[in-house]
Amino acid sequence: MTTARAPRARRTARGEPRPVDWGEYAAAVHRWEVITGRAAPYPTQPGRHGRPVLAPPFVEWLMGLPPGWVTAGHLDLPRTAQLRALGNGVMPQQAARALRHLLDDLTHLHRPSCQPPASPPPRDRRSRASRPSRADSGVTHPPGTAQATPAVRTRRSDPRKRR
């Protein structure tokens, strides 16, 4: 067992990342590599305390952004700012899909002027006389209270009269 660990330890000491075991996600990672046309970057990098932390180039790759979109050296962004920008960003594929749905909806809503507008929904054919009046609508008020008249309601809602 010690012979298997020594080469790996030397590789990481020299800064060479070891191969990633994607486990159950291997098929998805491979599929995304084929779609994006580039290999998956290493998912972690050493943090300030030597422990692995999430690598911004990996997040950039996951989102389908071109290399260096946020992680380019000339931008001079710290790792946390890069991750914040990526986290607040939108995947281009998702934005394109949303725009396609919006344009489809707008296309279906658009009616050429030569077509008559859609007929309004059928109205209730009952006459006003057959409808119950407001007083008979079954709404009861506590004893000793009266329903406000429209004039009183208007005065109550007038913003100029408020103090």
25 DSSP assignment: G
The Cα angle at residue 153 between residues 160 and 145, in degrees rounded to 5: 130
Residue 39's nearest CA partner among 20, 15, 11 is 20
Per-residue pLDDT tens digits for 49-99: 999 999 999 999 999 999 999 999 999 999 999 999 999 999 999 999 999
pLDDT at 133 over 60: no
Q: Are 78 and 45 contacting, i.e. CB atoms less than 8 angstroms apart?
A: no
H or E element in which residue 108 lies? helix 92-109
